[in-house]
Structure formats: structure tokens, C-alpha cells
Structure 1
Amino acid sequence: MAANTVRLERFITLTNEAAPVYSCWSYRADDPYAITVEFQTSPETWVTWVFARDLLLAGLKAPAGIGDVRFVPFEDQGDRLLLFQVESDEGRASWFLNREDAEAFANMTLDAVPVEQEEDQFDIDMLLADITDV
């Protein structure tokens, strides 16, 4: 793993189920606007979601997201939780995350690249070269 990478591996709980789901959350300073989450759906299969770091940061404070990824912070019997929902043409899923864990991950990303300093890390020339190389 590169020195500029933040990674959190953990089990999360399916909505209304006790079945754990293994997930890997990662953030790279050289891709400062994005967070990648991979979910293990079988021993050999992982599903990957990429979404804006700003969405997670906003979702820790208030409901956020109107597209394929949404976050809703709430409390349940004293537990601080974060509802994480994803949706695609193939279906949708919801998980409850421990909000303190999500906040710790978000803070690690902010330590790596503070808000409003993303463009200092982002190589727009490389991105343009990648998308125009057809």
C-alpha cells in the first residue's frame, strides 16, 4: 500500500440482519476527491463503489446523496449510526455503520488531504491524457 493511501477494513452489518459483510474502504491522496469501498459478496467476488469524499463528509452531519450513494446519520437507542445505501440497475443495499468508525476514516482522509487542498494533489493533466487517449 502506498504511503499516501488511507485504508479501513472492517465488518459492517446488513440492515436488519446480523450477517457481517466484509468491506474495505480506501482513499488515495493522488485521487483526493474519491473514496473507494469494496464489499465482499462471496469468497471470490468483490463489488466496488466509488463516490465523492464530500458526500461522506456531508453525510456524517445530515442526510446526503440523491443518486446511487446516500448517507443518513441517526441515533438508535444511544448508538450513533450512519446508514449507507447504494443503488444500481442490479439492485440496492443498505448497511448500518458505526458513525465513530466512519468519522475516524473521514478524519484520516482529511489528515492526508485537507478540504480545499485537493487540487494541489490532483494531476488534471494526467486525467486529461488518460481520457483523451483513445
Structure 2
Amino acid sequence: MSTVIEQAVQARLISSAPQLENVPATLGYDRTDPFAVRMVFPPPATLEGVEVVWTFSRELLARGLEEPSGVGDVQLRPYGYGRTVLEFHATEGVAMVHIRTSELRRFLRETQELVPPGDEHQYLDMDQDLAQLLNS
């Protein structure tokens, strides 16, 4: 069984312009980092023209599908019927995207099948993490 899950999603960038712009993004999960999910935006979708990766907790994703969640750089909240808003806060500004809630739920369900909630600690390699910490 693979230890990594990736899912392409269409994010709709919210801006001051009247049109919503579709941008490709990829959700990722690696059971060697069982508490985290990643959202990757490719270079054409970013202001800097480089790939941008946002990492946030799987628990935040789960809560954000049901109610406004997050107080830091990443915030999520349900939006209308069938959409979830993700806000990414950086020094350059705030990016807000809409994603179909069904896509996020499917991704979350796949991660939970790979690593059930509450069992994340079983997938951590504490010895390797400690060795890396001591070597740096």
C-alpha cells in the first residue's frame, strides 16, 4: 500500500475582480508525516512564479469542513452549498480559494483510511526525527 496520497483539485481564486479564476492545486498526504496535509500550487498559479506549498494539520482540514477553523496562516470555513473557503495568509497578502467540499471530504477520507485519526503517533519515526534534530 502506498504511503502517499495525492489528489488534484480545482481551486477557484477569489479576488477583487468580478470573475473567479480557476487554478490547479494538489492536495497531498504522506503517512510518514501523519498529522499534516499539504496543498501545492504550481508556478503558473502563484504571484512569484514558483511552486508554493502550504502545510497545515489534517485536523484543521476536518474541522474546517464543518465550521470556521484556524487562527493562523491557514483558515478554513464552509461556504454556501458544497464549497469550502481556504485562506492562506502570508506577508505578501491573503489568498482565498474555493474548493468543492466533496473533493476535500474524499481526500480526507482517503487519508483517514491510510492513517486512522488517533493512530498518527504509530506512524512517527521518533528515532529518525530525534537523530535529524540532533544532527542539525
Give TM-score, length-normalised by structure 2. 0.88
Q: Residue 13 of structure 1 aligns with which residue?
A: 12
* Deviations 1:55-102, CA, capped at 9 Å, x for gaps: 001111111000000000131xxx311000000112210001101111
Q: Which amino acid aligns with 1:42?
A: P
2:11 is aligned with what amino acid? I
Provide structure 1 residue ranges, at least 5 long, that are not aligned to the other structure. Answer: none
Q: Unmatched 5+ residue regions in structure 2?
A: none
Q: Give how far 1:45 is off.
A: 2.1
State the TM-score, normalizing by the size of structure 1: 0.90
Asked whether the equivalents of residues 10 and 99 of structure 2 are also in contact (C-alpha less than 8 Å), the reply is: no
State the percentage of identical aligned residues: 25
- Work out whether 1:57 is the aligned partner of 2:62: yes
* Counterpart residue type for residue 98 of structure 1: R
Matches within 5 A, 1:1-134: 3-15=2-14, 17-42=19-44, 45-75=50-80, 79-134=81-136
Aligned residue pair count? 130
How much has 1:123 moved relative to structure 2?
A: 1.0
Greater strand share, structure number: 1
* Distance in 2 of aligned mates of 1:11 and 1:74: 16
Alpha-carbon RMSD across the aligned residues, in angstroms, is 1.6
8 Å Cα contact 2:8-2:24 kept in structure 1: yes
Which letter maps to 1:45?
V
Structure 1 moving runs of 4+ over 6 Å: none
